Structure 1
Amino acid sequence: MGLSGARARSWVAVTKVAQRRHLVDRTGESPSPEPATRRAALYVHWPYCQKRCSYCNFNKYIARGGPEEEALRSCLVTEARTLLRLSGVRRIESVFFGGGTPSLASPHTVAAVLEAVAQAAYLPADSEVTLEANPTSAPGPRLAAFGAAGVNRLSIGLQSLDDTELQLLGRTHSASDALQTLAEARRLFPGRVSVDLMLGLPAQKAGPWLRQLQELLCHCDDHLSLYQLSLERGTSLFTQAQQGILPAPDPELAAEMYQEGRTVLREAGFRQYEVSNFARNGALSTHNWTYWQCGQYLGIGPGAHGRFVPQGVEDHPREARIQTLEPDHWMKEVKLFGHGTRKRVPLSKLELLEECVALGLRTDVGITHQHWQQFEPQLTLWDVFGASTEVKDLLEQGLLLLDHRGLRCSWEGLAVLDSLLLTLLLRLQEVWQQRTPVPGGWSAVPVSQDKARQT
């Protein structure tokens, strides 16, 4: 059935916006590469959902549309332009629309943000543009409209293929809905679809969960994320577990499920390129790779986080930025000041190195010597970790590798990274204080905004 006249004109308008983005994109290309401080990824936070899931305590609100979305769209465009100017970023490597449920947004909102970015900086035509989508908010025609707006990769919040588990999680879709959306996504975005699967739910068993994973591999595209449920204070599941209505998740069983799941994925040809993320046929998330490599990123929208060096201040350190959480308050600030940044925290050299270690070791590549020298040209990885007895023990246990390539976890080490980081970060702090005493304080390490916040 064809689109109505009004809707058809709507989709044509979206397509024209996307085409203008690519025109600006090509004519704005610079023949020489930009320095690292002038390149960044962009995260766009859509704060609304249809309902709050029973496990979620993140910055999201019940969906609003019409004039409210028009106001939010205008503020997203304004804040993107302002932060690009304040950061001096001239090239955006990737864009990620997260939330919340950004597939509830109008494709016009996505197109407007991308056009604004392309007008203010160089946004390559083939740069990765990801949209998080929930099955019930992303029918085929809507997904096609997002593609026309400039989206070229989807991250689908599937979570489970068991209807009982989906009800427990408070999801609005069924397993059938999820598989139908996945099939449509693969048709429209071949090779660029990611799905999320959760493990460690209350009363969940390893055998049935592994059968879900095997079934998903029959339908899955080339990227899959495994996330362990975390019961967060203030959520419905946390309350039910506290009251004894539901059994608390078994951490040992969850660890077993994770180990067996990653083995299944390895045998299916997936590369575990990060603790929770698996890809085959080279379908890595380049946007999230920026986070794990400690690259710069701008965060726009209510509650978004960012990391960048402001322009125009000599020897200014990288800043951690947090935007105002509540959408109405954020919009008021954007209208007054051009952006809704609520908190700015300059990162010390030690804090930046801590993030480099904690995030870099989440990947199978780890921290190469060349990458480390970008942040610390004086002390090598050998200087920091080579003489440590505790680190040597981890090397002898086969959990870590330190060689000509750099520092990284082994296959076994990736599964127990949290326990390794305590030793490594304490060692880094000790060496740094011996070299140049600095005030203490540990930085908050940012997480992947591709649903890794569920871990």
Structure 2
Amino acid sequence: MSATTMLRRVSLGAAKSFGVGSGRRCCAEAARATRTEPGPAEPSRLLKQASVYVHWPYCLRRCTYCNFNKYRSRGDSGDSAMAECLQRETETLLGLSRVASITSVFFGGGTPSLAQPSTIAAVLETISRHAHLSDEAEVTIEVNPTPVGMSRLEDFVHAGINRFSIGVQSLRDEDLALLGRDHSSQHALQTVAEARRLCPGRVSLDVMFARPGQSLERWERELAELMSVCDDHVSLYQLTLERGTHIFKQAERGQLTLPAEEVAAAMYQAARRILLQHGFEQYEVSNFARRNAISHHNTNYWKGRQYLGVGPGAHGRFVPLGEGGVVREARTQTLEPDAWMQEVRHRGHGTRRRIPLTHLGLLEEVLAMGLRMTRGITHQHWQLFSSEADLYKVFGSSMDVKELLLSGHLILDDRGLRCSWGGLALLDSLLPTLLLALENQVKSESKEPPCDR
């Protein structure tokens, strides 16, 4: 399997990492769907902190490739109601989780840069009233690089934002038009420059490759141009055809074609090489940083830490201590904004689905997300979630896993479990083997007879 299978959008927050509004679920969540019996309680050290993802569902238009949970904005009156309910649900979920400290906040969407800066400030103030939010905590907002988006950057900083994630996607105007974006390459460059002025070293650029008609040579030239203007963080995503989107229908009708899988894989490898040459370290499948400008918020996801999902369609993972819960739950908020707002007004939150995570389900997520990082999963980190069976016990005895180790795609040593440079691009093809080994080990533990005491 090529690198092209790996590059779905996961750096935009929890809602997107689990396919909000798309019907997609990660392999661990799908495997868990019929296993809802509670697992063991989590160590108290994991319960004290969490991140917050806030989903702003409105956009001015829908991009041709997008199937995320988003809706057309209905103006200031609708936005005001949304702002009020975001604050209410934030307060409720903080009370349910009883976390003492929020380590990061991410405003995603949709197009959260359409929200009023006062809304951003109000949500952050709500968080600060109910948990500790350090002045050093990473607070990110996604920005659509239009003139309107750029005009609000300074106000967002005054509201409490200290990091921008800018959806550049392409520096080619014809490709931006094909993707349905409402900005030009010039708008993008101007927005990036202003964001870097306001938050130097804390600006991330989203860039998409394997676009229709794109060649490897054009992609390399575009990356070289990007390197001359970017800050210290870049997220690369392969364009994938999602059923139901406009671009999917165009491809079905033969009106456009995407680069072949082998070409897309070569684009990914070329990007890794070029970014490395410009001082960027790859720290996750799709994410690159220099001068240690990693996304702390997204790293929390990949390390299996708690997060609260606020807003229509947002996903969360936390232990509801306020309700007497002892195991982590996978929570999904109601998708449609009007229905979500009605539920928030009625009971304080719009949680539509709650699934208590089994011990196996939690370990599946820790494994699948942790291996996305180039550093993988350390023995110490795994022990936080699996005190009984260490990495060697879980994976060291599997013949199929041993084949992956011998092939050089996977590494299991004193540091922990991780993919090699080549294996990281093939993670989707490695995970089924690893998940099966994990499931077999957990099942064998449950069948072991109790020891004599």
| Smaller-chain TM-score bracket | 0.7 to 0.9
CA contact (8 A) 2:251 2:257 kept: yes
The answer to whether residue 69 in structure 2 is matched with residue 59 in structure 1 is yes
Indicate the SS of the match to 2:228: helix
Aligned-pair CA distance for 1:65: 2.5
Residue 244 of structure 2 aligns with which residue?
Answer: 234
**Equivalent residue letter for 2:202:** R
Aligned-pair CA distance for 1:247: 1.6
Tell me which of 289, 299, 307 is aligned to 1:297.
Answer: 307
CA contact (8 A) 1:135 1:177 kept: yes
1:405-432 deviation per Cα after TM superposition (whole angstroms, max 9, x unaligned): 1001111111111111111111111111
Residue 100 of structure 1 aligns with which residue?
Answer: 110
Residue 425 of structure 1 aligns with which residue?
Answer: 435
Map 1:317-396; keep pairs closer than 5 Å. 317-396=327-406
Aligned-pair CA distance for 1:64: 2.6
Tell me which of 282, 306, 312 is aligned to 2:316.
Answer: 306
Aligned-pair CA distance for 1:125: 0.8
Tell me which of 190, 193, 207 is aligned to 1:183.
Answer: 193
Indicate the SS of the match to 1:234: coil
Tell me which of 215, 220, 245 is aligned to 1:205.
Answer: 215
Aligned-pair CA distance for 1:248: 4.2
Indicate the SS of the match to 2:64: coil
Residue 232 of structure 2 aligns with which residue?
Answer: 222
Indicate the SS of the match to 1:245: coil
Structure 1 distance, partners of 2:51, 2:303, is 12
Q: 1:296 to 1:137 in 2, by over 3 A?
A: farther
Structure 1 distance, partners of 2:177, 2:79, is 29
Aligned-pair CA distance for 1:245: 1.1
CA contact (8 A) 1:159 1:196 kept: yes
Map 1:42-53; keep pairs closer than 5 Å. 42-53=52-63
Indicate the SS of the match to 1:111: helix
Aligned-pair CA distance for 1:139: 4.8
Structure 2 distance, partners of 1:148, 1:137, is 19
Structure 2 distance, partners of 1:176, 1:419, is 39
**Equivalent residue letter for 1:420:** L
Aligned-pair CA distance for 1:323: 0.4
CA contact (8 A) 2:196 2:231 kept: yes
Structure 1's consecutive aligned runs of 4 or more residues displaced over 3 angstroms after TM superposition are: 137-141, 312-315
Structure 1 distance, partners of 2:96, 2:325, is 15
Structure 2 distance, partners of 1:417, 1:368, is 17
Structure 1 distance, partners of 2:309, 2:59, is 19
Indicate the SS of the match to 1:220: coil
Q: 1:315 to 1:113 in 2, by over 3 A?
A: closer
Indicate the SS of the match to 1:241: helix
Q: 1:437 to 1:101 in 2, by over 3 A?
A: farther
Structure 1 distance, partners of 2:322, 2:344, is 22
| Aligned residue pairs, count | 405
Indicate the SS of the match to 1:124: strand
**Equivalent residue letter for 1:44:** V
1:277-316 deviation per Cα after TM superposition (whole angstroms, max 9, x unaligned): 0000000000000000000000000100000001146662
Residue 82 of structure 1 aligns with which residue?
Answer: 92
RMSD across aligned C-alpha pairs, in angstroms?
1.4
1:154-181 deviation per Cα after TM superposition (whole angstroms, max 9, x unaligned): 0000000111111110001111111111
Q: 1:139 to 1:234 in 2, by over 3 A?
A: closer
Aligned-pair CA distance for 1:99: 0.1
Aligned-pair CA distance for 1:122: 0.4
CA contact (8 A) 1:103 1:137 kept: no
Please list every run of 5 or more consecutive structure 2 residues that lacks an aligned counterpart in the other structure.
1-43, 449-453
The answer to whether residue 164 in structure 2 is matched with residue 154 in structure 1 is yes
Structure 1 distance, partners of 2:219, 2:182, is 20
CA contact (8 A) 1:138 1:181 kept: no
Aligned-pair CA distance for 1:63: 1.7
Indicate the SS of the match to 1:396: helix
Structure 2 distance, partners of 1:360, 1:36, is 16
Q: Which stretch has the larger CA shift, 333-342 or 262-271?
A: 262-271
Please list every run of 5 or more consecutive structure 1 residues that lacks an aligned counterpart in the other structure.
1-33, 439-455
Aligned-pair CA distance for 1:119: 0.5
**Equivalent residue letter for 2:174:** T
CA contact (8 A) 1:84 1:90 kept: no
Residue 30 of structure 1 aligns with which residue?
Answer: none
Give the % identical residues.
58
Indicate the SS of the match to 2:136: coil
1:74-94 deviation per Cα after TM superposition (whole angstroms, max 9, x unaligned): 100000000000111121000
Instruction: Give the structure-2-normalised TM-score.
Output: 0.87
Q: 1:119 to 1:313 in 2, by over 3 A?
A: closer
Map 1:217-296; keep pairs closer than 5 Å. 217-296=227-306
